[in-house]
Chain A
Amino acid sequence: MNGYVFWGYAITLGGIAFYTVRVALMTRHMKKRMARDK
């Protein structure tokens, strides 16, 4: 596979995966914080 093509796909898929995990972790953190504060 061509190197430019590989990095194009890797960064796109990796970026989406990273953002998905970040949002999921932040949601979990907020839920925990709200449960603790109540």
Chain B
Amino acid sequence: MSQTTGSLAKSLTVAVSAAAVALLGITVWLGLFVTDPDSVQGEYVRLIYIHPAVAWTSYVAFGVTAAASALYLWPKSRRRFWDLLAGASAEVGLMFCGLTLITGAIWGKASWGVWWTWDARLTTTALLYVLFLGYLALRRMPGDTHARARRSAIAALVAVIDIPVVHLSVEWWRTLHQGPTLVRTNPTIHGLQLTTMLLSFLTFTLVYVALLIQRYRLERLESSQEVDDLAAAVAERRSTISTSPRKTDSSILGATQ
């Protein structure tokens, strides 16, 4: 990478991170202090400015993981970059999926009186979390880099099937969880509530992009260190073999008698 491209990438990263922090501040301010309480849900409606956006961001992150995995599996586009991007995005997505489950549990306790219920939406979201936790565990298994990347990519493509199931679960089954708020011909919220909610989606997506850039850098460093460690271990093993005395046929015979 040239120096100009490097400094441009650094400036872009700083700009994205600054925009994410600024938008996060505006979203929290609007969500907590400016928007009105709901006539039905009262103050609890303020959770609508974080919970759906955080869930959306986890979908985006896992979607990026799946797309990058598919590009890695396709021979013509196979590059180490796609594997590293998939791993970085999955970890950030898992963080957002965890926050979705926690904020959902808090909202559930406030609205339904329970922290958890085996509702279709909740269960499929928990399954999504476990699937990508397994994906990250698979990535940490020792072995050949390409073989590991390939089996992780296949696992990501299997795990991502759960996303449409999570999204459509409220329509396929009778659930406690409310149906779609925005994706319908007549949205159930309007005015500043709708603006703040749409802003929250943009905000958390930008937070995801900022975190993905940072996590990708770390993933690249870890990968590079792994290659260096392997080369050092191989060199050490070779030097041990070359310096140790070779056993002769007579010494082997003596040992067996």
Pick from A8, A15, A19, A31: contact of B47, CB under 8 Å: A8
A-B residue pair count with CB separations less than 8 angstroms: 79
Contact B98 A15 (CB under 8 A): yes
**Is B110 a contact partner of A4 (Cβ separation < 8 A)?**
yes
Number of B interface residues in the complex (CB < 8 A) = 34
Q: Which of A12, A15, A19, A33 gathers the greatest number of chain B CB atoms within 10 Å?
A: A12
Q: A8-B47, A8-B50, A30-B225 are in contact. Are A24 and B214 (CB under 8 A)?
A: yes
Whether the Cβ atoms of A4 and B109 lie closer than 8 Å is yes
User: Which among B103, B214, B232 is the interface contact of A8 at CB below 8 angstroms?
Assistant: B103
Given contacts A19-B95, A19-B211, 8 further A-B contacts (CB under 8 A): A1-B32, A1-B43, A8-B107, A9-B50, A12-B99, A27-B214, A30-B225, A37-B232
Residues of A within 8 A of B (CB): 1-2, 4-5, 7-9, 11-13, 15-16, 19-20, 23-24, 26-27, 30-31, 33-34, 37
27 A-B residue pairs with CB within 8 Å: A2-B43, A4-B44, A4-B107, A5-B32, A5-B43, A5-B44, A5-B47, A8-B46, A8-B51, A9-B31, A9-B46, A11-B102, A12-B103, A16-B95, A16-B99, A16-B207, A19-B211, A23-B214, A23-B218, A24-B214, A27-B221, A30-B222, A30-B225, A31-B221, A33-B225, A34-B225, A37-B225
